[in-house]
Chain A
């Protein structure tokens, strides 16, 4: 079982819709969770971090964490074509704190 799993997609949504990206992780003791966005040909950039159960909102982005279910999600409201990118979920594995483990990413395509 992979440590961090994501559906590779592509996830295709129309402009203005809500895009929902999901991630599961295997280490129950993990404490820190991150979403990175990677445009084609570019390097990843951090867009959200979440450390506690519940929701965290930042503009059009909402990160959701459920530690009991070992599940992290990212919602993008009012999706724009410029949101088309690969979204990487990353988890800090508790017994290897100085190592961030990335999922394989979900490719999001927002149709105009």
Chain B
């Protein structure tokens, strides 16, 4: 069974640009969560989607957005990039429709903003 796939794995952008990250969950999983990981802040929750609906959102500015498609694949977008957006962005899928807990993480997309 294939794991969670995230693309691209690495990317470099400049301030003011925008970026789109993609996540394909484990086959059959309908819940997708996104996290930002930085050395200083640890794992910070961005948002969670289930059946194309955002069920919860973290405390991030509106520049951070996401969506989920009917095949459960998800994308997140960051507009007007800032230096502080440099981080590892992790996507995780879950096989349950209930409260989140047992997450399977992808390898992440490492974003560097210059």
Contact = CB atoms under 8 A, between A and B. Distances in A.
B55 interface: yes
Given A98-B50, A100-B45, A105-B42, A46 B103 contact: yes
B99 A43 contact: no
B31 interface: yes
Nearest to B48: A98
Interface in A26-50: 31-32, 34, 36, 42-46, 49
Interface string A80-108: 00000000101010001111111111000
Contact of B101 (A42, A92, A103): A92
Nearest to B90: A43
Nearest to A102: B43
A97 B100 contact: yes
Contact of B104 (A34, A42, A46, A49): A46
For the complex of A and B, 3 pairs with smallest distance between CB atoms: A97-B99, A43-B105, A102-B43
24 contacts: A34-B102, A36-B103, A43-B107, A43-B108, A44-B43, A44-B103, A46-B103, A49-B101, A88-B43, A92-B99, A96-B56, A97-B100, A98-B33, A98-B48, A98-B55, A98-B56, A98-B100, A99-B56, A99-B58, A101-B45, A102-B43, A103-B42, A104-B41, A104-B42
Interface of B: 31, 33, 35, 41-43, 45, 48, 50, 55-56, 58, 90, 98-108
Given A31-B99, A32-B99, A44-B103, 17 more contacts: A43-B108, A44-B43, A45-B105, A46-B103, A88-B43, A92-B101, A98-B31, A98-B56, A98-B100, A99-B48, A99-B58, A102-B42, A102-B43, A102-B45, A103-B42, A104-B41, A104-B42
